[in-house]
Amino acid sequence: MIVASRRGRGLQAARYALLVLLSVLFLLPFYVLVRNAFASNKLITAPRWRWLPDQVNLDNLRALFAQDNVGMVPAMWHSAVMALSQTTLTVLISLLAGYALARYDNRLSRILLGFTLFTLMVPASVTFIPMFVMTAQLGWIDSFRGLVVPGMFSAFATYMFRQSFLGFPADLEEAAMIDGANPWATFWRVVAPNSLGIVGAVGTITFIGSWNAFLWPLLVARENTRTVQVTLSQFMTSQGVNYPVLFTGALVAIIPVVGVFLFLQRYLVEGVETSGMK
């Protein structure tokens, strides 16, 4: 008994040590980001690493928002509009599509499900060229329509909703229909209100992905719709890299993402569990 108890405590201590090590490795890049955001260029480019700067340098923050040719504030606004719009539309479309694939089991729904799963295996970058051509032909270059519409159809979100609805109790829907509700009313009054977990999970994933998007906004966005990620790339030019301002801009850019994640992390875990994608 004593040997088994000691062995159990040793395994538990090893697990904790491993978790601490993994946590440090995960948080280290964020520490480097924060440290360099308030450090001077001399300290960032120094050959020897120093864990703490000599002094907190707020000039980087002032320089970030003082550069009129870059426009960090408009870029934040553009990213917010794109992320919120794309999240709302993606959740709405995928919610309806996922419910249809889960509840209507026929040949057409099985074909559509297979096509949905197939698109999950296609790299997103493969579709950029045809999407860009169509966007240009529609005159949506440098517009929010060009940023939002091509990305609001998500096979991943649709599949997550479908998996969640497969486990939704059909008795609740049947009871609502017995009370006289039609399928549309049943969905919005019974199914949707009881699926906030998966809605929050899909919304969180979609918002983070949309906010962090770089390649598609780089192709479509111009002066009027340039997003944060594209704006940050302007600090890296052929003349050099403005490291202090770049790190400060990256720190500012992740604040909305961290806020959304902390606010909706409970729904994220709950949604992944209910969808069965563990």
Amino acid symbol at 39: A
Confidence of residue 265 (pLDDT cuts 50, 70, 90): confident
pLDDT tens digits, 88-98:
999 999 999 99
pLDDT tens digits, 197-213:
889 889 999 999 999 99
pTM of the predicted structure, to 2 decimals: 0.85
pLDDT at 8 (0 to 100): 67
Domain range annotation of the chain: 6-56, 69-276
Calculate the average pLDDT of the chain.
Answer: 85
Of 203, 211, 205, which is closest to residue 75 (Cα–Cα)? Answer: 211
CATH entry 1.10.3720.10 includes domain 69-276: yes
pLDDT tens digits, 222-256:
888 999 999 888 887 767 778 888 888 899 999 99
